[in-house]
Amino acid sequence: MRWDDLFADLEAQAQALLTAERDTEVAELTRLETSRLDLASRLRPALGAAVRVRCLGGMVLTGRLSALGAGWLLLDEDAGREAFLATAAIVSIAGLGRPAGTPGSALDARLGIGRALRGLARDRSVLRACLIDSTVLDGTVDRVGSDFVEFAVHAAGEPRRREEVREVLVLPISALAVLRRDS
């Protein structure tokens, strides 16, 4: 009988070791998979969710996450406004929950911040630009380079007209925090 108890105890110990090894392996694989996610991949499961985003310069925005790409996201704010955020200017995002992200596709990589900004320039949207140093400018994105935008500063809410443009500023994309427009 003592032999049976000894072998049962040894078998239980071996099973406990195997379980612990498997749990360690699963945890390591989970960490490895998470390390391969970028921010857009982490945010993708939260599309449609209400979030709170804190940006450089102290700006805090709330709204529904409606679109995203490499280097940017779009929030539908209250009062029918849209806010285009450069992810490089984001300090934190709340309201995501703990869903796992999914790796991005080649399409996501092509929908980078430059392409999104070129869409705003093509659309001729009147925007309020909030920069990472808390500067606020009203105007229109005229042109988009690989790492900069040319921003025509003019009266808020008014379409861009040559005679109304006060100045055209060259803004590094890295200086952009939020571009807002009324929809």
Q: What kind and span of H or E run contains 124?
A: none
Sequence ranges of the domains in the chain: 1-36, 39-182
Largest CA distance in the chain: 100
Beta bridge partners of 144: 149
The CATH class for the domain spanning 39-182 reads mainly beta
Write down the pLDDT at residue 136. Answer: 95
Main-chain phi, psi angles of 63, to 5 degrees: 170, -175
Write down the pLDDT at residue 26. Answer: 65
- The model's pLDDT over 10-50, given as tens digits with 9 standing for 90+, comes to 788 878 877 877 777 766 665 666 566 788 888 988 999 99
- The answer to whether residues 49 and 96 touch, using CB atoms and an 8 Å cutoff, is yes
- The model's pLDDT over 65-85, given as tens digits with 9 standing for 90+, comes to 999 998 999 999 987 899 999
- The model's pLDDT over 105-150, given as tens digits with 9 standing for 90+, comes to 545 556 799 999 999 999 998 999 999 999 999 999 999 999 999 9
Average pLDDT score over the chain: 86
Write down the pLDDT at residue 30. Answer: 56
